[in-house]
Amino acid sequence: MNAQRLRRLVRKEFIQIVRDPSAIAIAFVMPVVLLFLFGYGVSLDARHVPVAMVVDAPTAETGTFVGRLQQSPYFTPLPYPDIHAAQQAVMAHRADGILWLRNDFSRALLQGGPAPVGVQVNGVDANTARILEGYIQGAWENWLEQRALDQGTPLVVPVVPDTRIWFNPTVRSRDYLVPGLIAVIMTLIGGLLTALVVAREWERGTMEALMATPVTIGEILVGKLVPYFIMGMGGMGLTVALAVWLFAVPLVGSFWVLLVFSALFLLAALGMGLLISTVAHSQFVASQVAVIVTFLPAFILSGFIFDIHSMPAPIRIVTHVIAARYFVSILQTIFLAGDLWGILLTNGLALLLMAVIFLGLTWRRSHKRLD
């Protein structure tokens, strides 16, 4: 390793980055776009769900029930004259579900058994349907309880659940989506951008020119690593700053611990990017491979959005070779739970191992050869 040659290579890389601002855009504009999309656009917390209400025979009791729904932030009850009109509203996507209070509502209430309420939900979006089901169930139980209390015979329910939600008591989905996004953004810089710039050198023939110089293959690799490492850490810093100050995501753990583990993940991602570029010498192929093996897994298989435990066994095994999986766990822990070393060390070790393997493989597979 010759320090001067290395410095020149890094300088050359930076000049290229400045010349084609799309690299800077990938490192700094993409994070902002993604943060805004996820911070403002994406939410799994359903509010004001339109529900078609059909009341066959209005009584005082149906009145209090509908009133209860109207006050709830979860529903927007839309009155319909009969069940057919309500069904048409669901077909036309004007309502997500139907609450049908049948004409024997008040009488049947006293007899127990199945409630005299027909509940139908549009099940196409299964997750939302299930959330809506939970809301309706909750509203119904609350109303029954209130009614029993008003009548002076408080409802006695055998088992009373006492729920404690740790780390995110208000269950704000933004608080776990935004930290997880840091893994996606760093994957974009480390994996995609790096794979692309090396492939570009092959495609344009400048790799041949580089090989004709006295620089060693190790110097070429480190010369690529350093600039994109700096950009990746910059993108991470920007994301953390926006997450904490703009989106008010709590950072319970320490920033320095976050920095160290982010650097570890970035090395693994860069190693992956460089490894791809040793296989793919055209930008089209490199971009496709990078999207498939780094970007999409960081989204889907990392536990960022979808729960890993619930995946089928073969896919669960595959997630173990996805670096983002370990980093997402670290991120969610540092942000929401604090520096829990049990999680940090095991996941950090996995990241270290992956960084060593990917960078080592890249170094082994790279030769000053033109084939």
Partner 1 sequence: MFARIWGLVIKEFLSLLRDRKSRFVLIGPPLIQLLVFGYAASFDLNHLPYAVYNEDPGFASRDLLGRFQGSRNFEQVATLTHSREIAPLIDDRKALLVIHIGPHFTRDLLLHRPAPVQVIIDGRNSNTASVALNYVNGILLAFDGDWAAQAGWGNPPAQLVVRAWFNPNLLSRWFIVPGIIALLMLVVTLLVTGLSVAREREQGTFDQLLVTPMTPAEILVGKALPGLIIGGLEGGVISLVATLWFQVPFSGSVLALGIGMILYLLAAVGVGLMISSLAVTQQQGLLGVFLFLVPAIILSGFATPIANMPQPVQYLTLVDPVRYFLVILRGVFLEGDGIATLWPQYWPLALIAAFSMTAAAWLFRHRMA
Give the one residue of 239, 277, 329, 362 binding partner 1; rule: CB under 8 A. 329
Q: Which is nearer to partner 1, 216 or 319 (CB)?
A: 319
Give the one residue of 4, 71, 127, 151 binding partner 1; rule: CB under 8 A. 127
What is the CB-side half-sphere exposure of residue 246 using CA atoms within 13 A? 14
Q: Which is nearer to partner 1, 81 or 342 (CB)?
A: 342
Nearest distance in Å: CB 67, partner 1: 18
Q: Find the part of the chain contacting partner 1 (CB under 8 A) among 53-61, 135-143, 268-276, 361-369.
A: 135-143
**Rounded distance between C-alpha atoms, residue 265 and residue 252, angstroms:** 20
**Rounded distance between C-alpha atoms, residue 105 and residue 117, angstroms:** 7
- Within 54-113, the residues that bind partner 1 by CB under 8 A are 90-91, 93, 96, 108-113
Give the one residue of 20, 104, 150, 208 binding partner 1; rule: CB under 8 A. 20
Beta carbons of 119 and 97 less than 8 angstroms apart = yes
Beta carbons of 295 and 188 less than 8 angstroms apart = yes
Beta carbons of 319 and 301 less than 8 angstroms apart = yes
- Within 168-187, the residues that bind partner 1 by CB under 8 A are 168-169, 171-173, 175-176
**Rounded distance between C-alpha atoms, residue 154 and residue 221, angstroms:** 73
Give the one residue of 11, 130, 365, 367 binding partner 1; rule: CB under 8 A. 130
Q: Is the dihedral of CA 263, 304, 326, 298 positive or negative?
A: negative
Residue 340 is a binding residue for partner 1 (CB under 8 A): yes
Residue 230 is a binding residue for partner 1 (CB under 8 A): no
Nearest distance in Å: CB 361, partner 1: 19
Give the one residue of 32, 226, 259, 296 binding partner 1; rule: CB under 8 A. 296
Q: How many residues bind partner 1 (CB under 8 A)?
A: 117
Map residues 300-319 to x or -, x wherever contact with partner 1 holds by CB under 8 A.
xx-x-xxx-xxxx-xx--x-
Residue 25 is a binding residue for partner 1 (CB under 8 A): yes
Residue 287 is a binding residue for partner 1 (CB under 8 A): yes
Give the one residue of 142, 213, 282, 368 binding partner 1; rule: CB under 8 A. 282
Give the one residue of 60, 73, 342, 369 binding partner 1; rule: CB under 8 A. 342
Cross-sheet strand order for the sheet of 75-79: 75-79, 49-55, 97-101
- Within 29-48, the residues that bind partner 1 by CB under 8 A are 29-30, 33-34, 37-38, 40-48
Nearest distance in Å: CB 4, partner 1: 29
Give the one residue of 14, 28, 167, 363 binding partner 1; rule: CB under 8 A. 167
Beta carbons of 118 and 91 less than 8 angstroms apart = no
Give the one residue of 162, 214, 364, 370 binding partner 1; rule: CB under 8 A. 162
Contacts 24+ apart (CB under 8 A), 354-360: 354/268, 354/271, 354/321, 354/323, 354/326, 355/264, 355/267, 355/268, 355/271, 357/271, 358/268, 358/271, 358/272, 358/274, 358/275, 359/221, 359/267, 359/270, 359/271, 359/274
Nearest distance in Å: CB 209, partner 1: 16
- Distances in Å between the Cα of 6 and the Cα atoms of 158, 210, 217, 220, 318 are 72, 12, 11, 8, 37
Q: Which is nearer to partner 1, 82 or 145 (CB)?
A: 145
